[in-house]
Amino acid sequence: MAFNYANWLRQDLMPHIWCPGCGIGIVLKSAIRAMESLGWNQDTIGFVSGIGCTSRAPGYVDMNTLHTTHGRALTFATGLKMAAPDKNVVVMAGDGDSAAIGGNHLIHSCRRNINITMIIVNNEIYGMTGGQYSPTTPGGARAATAPYGNIDPGFDLCQLTIAAGATYVARGHVANGIFLERLIKGGMAHKGFAVIEVMSNCHTQYGRRNQHPDPAELVEHIASKAVTLTAWNKMTPEEKIGRYPIGVLHKVTDKPEYCESYYKLQQHAQERVRDAARRISEAESLRVKPELPGGGIPSEN
């Protein structure tokens, strides 16, 4: 039976305004299926975005949503998670939003290992704001701000987040939504900061400047560069040029989660304060009060 997305979407806001053929719809549907597969109740989910094409997603999903400022989705999501650690917090962002303007917040979220799932839709360009090159635009590729080709080397977001301390890092692409759903579900079920990078298409801004104006052809091109992790580990450095590994690239389970560490520290501090107050009270009660001439005891007043 076909999956029913109607219960998860705000039908009054349909149809969406993403470009025809955009890969974000595949990513969002994969995330929704992962949430339902995990048995998540919509009232327990906080869905957060910054600015960019992905920022339309919180408007369309029917749950607790937050559309924040450019690059700051993780800061709002961190506050939400700290205030309500029992909630499931999911962030969806693009490559520019997460790795450029929000790059500082990304690495520190990785370092803290806060229990948030971050889905980065990497279309290798700033799509909504006019086609400027982003931190993941490949070297030599053209963009509105690089008409003769980009000279900056692109970030490998998975390697970046692994090095910064994320405890679940995976990569997929929009040509295989079922595989992508499994990766996202794994990240959502993981206790700690999870990053799922999704290689996606922006034929409108990236494709038309780089000889891939057709959405289907660009998706096929993206998929043609993907290599399973097993095959990747057997390739030579020369064979890896222009390709990327997919699957769960990194997972550790023995690193403390940030909210738990914070509330444990808070409890310890409160016990210390209560213990100190109790000792002061006991010392006061044991203090010998001087007698007044004639045998009286001085009044507290």
- Calpha distance 144→147 (Å, rounded): 6
In b/e form, how buried is each residue of 143-166, taking b as 16+ CB within 10 angstroms?
Answer: beebeeebeeebbebbebbbebbb
- Model pLDDT for residues 199-247, shown as the tens digit of each residue: 999 999 999 999 999 999 999 999 999 999 999 999 999 999 999 999 9
- Give the tokens for residue 187: 């990240």
- Give the tokens for residue 40: 């998540």
User: What burial class does residue 114 get, using C-beta atoms within 10 Å of its C-beta: 0-12 exposed, 13-18 middle, 19+ buried?
Assistant: buried
Q: What's the Cα-to-Cα distance from 291 to each of 3, 281, 298, rounded to whole Å?
A: 85, 21, 7
- Give the tokens for residue 192: 């700690």
Give one DSSP letter per residue of 64-75, joined into a string.
EEEE--TT-HHH
Residues 110, 61, 16: CA angle, nearest 5 degrees: 110
193 residue type, one letter: F
Mean pLDDT, the chain, rounded, equals: 94
pLDDT of residue 191: 97
Say if residue 289's pLDDT is above 70. no
- Model pLDDT for residues 87-106, shown as the tens digit of each residue: 999 999 999 999 999 999 99
Report yes or no: 102 and 179 within 8 Å, Cβ to Cβ: no
Q: Provide mean pLDDT across the span 158-169.
A: 98
pLDDT of residue 284: 83
- Calpha distance 28→8 (Å, rounded): 11
Q: Provide mean pLDDT across the span 59-76.
A: 96
pLDDT band for 292, please (50, 70, 90 cuts). Answer: low
The answer to whether the peptide bond before residue 15 is cis (omega within 30 degrees of 0) is yes
250 residue type, one letter: H
Q: Provide mean pLDDT across the span 266-283.
A: 92
Helix (H, G, I), strand (E, B) or coil at 241: coil
- Give the tokens for residue 8: 């998860």
The runs of H, that is alpha helices, within the chain are 24-37, 57-60, 73-83, 95-96, 103-112, 157-164, 177-189, 215-224, 229-232, 237-240, 258-286
pLDDT of residue 294: 63
